[in-house]
Amino acid sequence: MRALRFERFGGPEVLSVAEVADPVAGDGMAVVAVKAASVNPSDVMAVSGRMEDTVLPRVPGRDFAGIVLEGPDDWVGAEVWGTGGDVGFSLDGSHAERIALPVGALARKPGILDFAEAATVGVNFVVGWLGAIETAGLAAGETIAVFGVSGGVGGAVAQIARAVGARRIVGVAPHAPASGTPAAEVIDEFVPFDDATDVPAEIRRITGDRGADVVYDAVGGVTTPSAVASLAHRGRLVVISAIGTSTAEIDLRDFYHRELRMLGADSRKLDVTASAERLRRISPHFERGQFRPLPVAQAFDLDHGPDAYRAVAEKKLRGRIVIQP
């Protein structure tokens, strides 16, 4: 089969299309024909060598959607989707014509989504669900502020918050989500993250001087002081990233007097099987129309895979980038 592959770390130029052996459905395994696979920022980081535990040589790619070619009889021909914190790092990934997976990693794709749309869901919604629901325990009636709401993860978190009955959803980002995108349709208020705006003061104003029960910080680092200051008494902060700096200074006396909690969520700790468990929980929300993926900005064939990586690295396109092998 043909696959995008890299043998050394670097920019998109280290990627090339290679002929590699077809994966085989051994004991407890299945083979999926990849119909579409998104390119995530973490895929770009893996190729550049900035993601730990990336083993060379490697076929990259975390998210995918496709059709089961080999495996248990009741799965052959099924349309599936998936993602994983091991796929594309320590295991060969989805930017190829086929991918081998444990049978336990098979999750049926929502019929309402086409392959390209389904391929964009994995990382964003799995880490969104992991952080907001499993880690922070966001509940109906609570207020959440989503830092990075215009991005893939932030947009997913906003939709998850609406589905579980959050009372108020405040989006925070340098620019508001584009009109018509899922995030733009579910947030109640938007606060710009810029030098002219006191973000914590704005969130306190919006919440009647109370602050947010949960702050989901999909940016981290440069946003952490504002995120902490935006919390209500006994509020929970979820951090999934660190942009610009990996350290942050907080007032510890203020932190313990307000009985705050800071929590980390890392989708890399969920392998392809554990991620499939989350996708099975998420799937009904797509079927009911509660969740929608970000629009696909551009699709590339495998031969233009390096161009797809450049598009993600340069952040010039709004929406998701997919490879269709």
For the ranges 91-100, 162-171, 315-324, the lowest mean pLDDT is seen at 315-324
Is residue 47 within 8 Å of 84, Cβ to Cβ? no
The CATH H-level (homologous superfamily) assignment of domain 2-121+294-323 is Medium-chain alcohol dehydrogenases, catalytic domain (3.90.180.10)
| pTM of model > 0.85 | yes
- Any idea which residue has 């906003």 for tokens? 158
- pLDDT tens per residue, range 195-235: 999 999 999 999 999 999 999 999 999 999 999 999 999 99
Domain ranges of the chain: 2-121+294-323, 124-267
Classify the phi-psi angles of 10: left when phi > 0, otherwise alpha if psi is within -120 to 50, otherwise beta: left
For the chain, what percent of residues have pLDDT higher than 70?
A: 100
Bridge-partner residues for 19, per DSSP? 2
DSSP state of 272: H
The answer to whether the 2-121+294-323 and 124-267 domains have the same CATH topology is: yes
Is residue 188 within 8 Å of 170, Cβ to Cβ? yes
Quote the pLDDT of residue 160: 98
Q: What is the pLDDT averaged over residues 167-174?
A: 98
Residue 315 has pLDDT above 90, yes or no: no
Q: Does domain 124-267 correspond to CATH entry 3.40.30.10? A: no
- pLDDT tens per residue, range 133-155: 999 999 999 999 999 999 999 99
* DSSP states of 67-118: EEEESSTTTTT-EEEE--SSBTTTB--SSBSEEEEEGGG-EEPPTTS-HHHH
Bridge-partner residues for 135, per DSSP? none
DSSP state of 294: P
Per DSSP, the three-state class of 153 is helix
CB-side exposure of 46: number of CA atoms within 13 Å? 31
DSSP state of 9: -
Quote the pLDDT of residue 232: 98
